[in-house]
């Protein structure tokens, strides 16, 4: 007599093989259809795709030729090939620098906090606004939240500088609650909250667009069936809406992790000062100072190349982990 556990395990293994085989066949059929479509409309694809491919090659791949200055003692007067080859000297210089620890710590701290705070906000916003039945009100709220994305970073930073000054709005509010006035952007403790809050304010509405698009694709019949079974709004959101947009959430999370070390330098450069370097100085601002102010092109290129390699490694690891956990990945 066959043990029930062994029989169940055997059935499970066979089912798993069948599912895997079915997926492989589906992928082959999809690729065959794509190839057939490409052959049928090759001139149309060529007319539209060629300019895009050329643009990427000329402006994204050709400039990669300059990466080699990270391995040279680059001098403008000598050019790339005339500058002496120094190997990994610039990388070792960065690793042994007194700024290395601070830069890595600040970059990770700002990136992780931005991810932890800024990533869930557009998802929650999209889920909540999706439950609003008044369509004109829903569209108005969406439009209002999109607008900050289109405001120039320079304008936003100018507003933050004015509001954070001793006679600014933030200090007036703080004084009302019994706090002393101070220049907030000159404080290491206040810089990070101001930076993070402004980032969330400018980006959450725009970032929610992709989730609204995903919500439109959730099967409405599931909502009707859940309503008949007596499920309330929260349960429908938890068991139908959220699983329905989970693949999009996972893909967005992978992309965010892939850019974890790439903290935008524009806003920080406009807001920080030498007083707040201890908290606000990140890899991208350090690269700017070394490359554009100190004219140390080889060193700054080496630092940025190191940063890019870490980002690529994080992207690959996040994608591999996601594929193992829930079979959703970029490739």
Does the pLDDT at position 4 exceed 80? no
- Residue, of 17 and 107, whose pLDDT is higher: 107
- pLDDT of 30-49, one tens digit each? 777 777 877 787 787 778 88
Q: 235 pLDDT band (50/70/90 cuts)?
A: confident
Does the pLDDT at position 232 exceed 50? yes
Mean per-residue pLDDT, 316-329: 79
The pLDDT, as a whole number, for residue 20 is 52
The pLDDT, as a whole number, for residue 2 is 45
Q: 22 pLDDT band (50/70/90 cuts)?
A: low
The pLDDT, as a whole number, for residue 30 is 73
Q: 77 pLDDT band (50/70/90 cuts)?
A: confident
128 Cβ contact partners less than 8 Å away, ≥ 6 residues apart: none
- Which residue's entry shows tokens 């609204």? 212
CA distance 254 to 115: 11
Q: In CATH, what number does 89-326 get?
A: 1.10.3720.10
| Extents of the domains making up the chain | 24-71, 89-326
Q: Which of 113, 253, 284, 83 is nearest to 193 (CA)?
A: 113
Does the pLDDT at position 6 exceed 50? no
The pLDDT, as a whole number, for residue 100 is 94
Q: What's the alpha-carbon Rg for the chain, to the nearest Å?
A: 26
What's the start-to-end Cα distance of the chain, in Å? 45
Average pLDDT, the chain: 84
- Residue, of 10 and 274, whose pLDDT is higher: 274
The pLDDT, as a whole number, for residue 24 is 64
Q: How is residue 314 written in tokens?
A: 């994080």
Q: Which of 104, 280, 273 is nearest to 195 (CA)?
A: 280
CA distance 233 to 212: 17
- Residue pair 138/205 in contact (Cβ under 8 Å)? The answer is no
The pLDDT, as a whole number, for residue 8 is 40
CA distance 175 to 49: 59
134-138, 154-158, 181-185: segment of lowest average pLDDT: 181-185
Percent pLDDT > 70 in the chain is 91
């Amino acid at each position: 007599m066959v043990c029930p556990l062994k029989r169940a395990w055997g059935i499970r293994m066979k089912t798993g093989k069948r599912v895997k085989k079915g997926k492989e066949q589906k992928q082959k059929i999809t690729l065959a259809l794509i190839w057939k479509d490409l052959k049928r409309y090759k001139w149309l694809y060529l007319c539209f795709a060629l300019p895009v491919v050329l643009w990427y090659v000329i402006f994204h791949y050709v400039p990669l030729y300059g990466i080699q200055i990270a391995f040279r003692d680059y001098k403008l007067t000598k050019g790339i090939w005339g500058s002496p080859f120094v190997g990994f000297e610039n990388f070792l210089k960065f690793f042994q620098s007194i700024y290395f620890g601070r830069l890595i710590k600040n970059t990770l701290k700002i990136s992780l906090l931005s991810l932890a705070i800024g990533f869930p906000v557009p998802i929650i916003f999209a889920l909540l606004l999706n439950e609003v039945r008044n369509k004109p009100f829903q569209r108005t709220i969406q439009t209002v939240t999109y607008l900050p994305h289109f405001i120039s970073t320079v304008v936003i930073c100018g507003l933050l500088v004015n509001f954070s000054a001793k006679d600014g709005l933030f200090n007036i509010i703080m004084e009302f609650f019994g706090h002393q006035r101070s220049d907030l952007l000159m404080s290491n403790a206040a810089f990070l909250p101001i930076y993070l809050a402004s980032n969330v304010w400018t980006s959450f509405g725009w970032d929610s667009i992709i989730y609204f698009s995903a919500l439109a694709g959730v099967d409405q019949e599931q909502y009707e069936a859940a309503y008949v079974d007596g499920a309330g709004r929260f349960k429908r959101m938890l068991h139908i809406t959220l699983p329905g947009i989970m693949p999009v959430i996972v893909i967005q999370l992978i992309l965010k992790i892939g850019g974890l070390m790439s903290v935008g330098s524009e806003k920080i450069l406009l807001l920080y000062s030498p007083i707040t370097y201890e908290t606000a100085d990140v890899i991208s601002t350090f690269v700017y100072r070394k490359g554009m102010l100190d004219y140390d092109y080889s060193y700054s290129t080496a630092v940025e190349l190191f940063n890019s390699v870490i980002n690529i490694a994080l992207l690959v690891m996040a994608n591999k982990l996601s594929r193992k956990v829930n079979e959703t990945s970029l490739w």
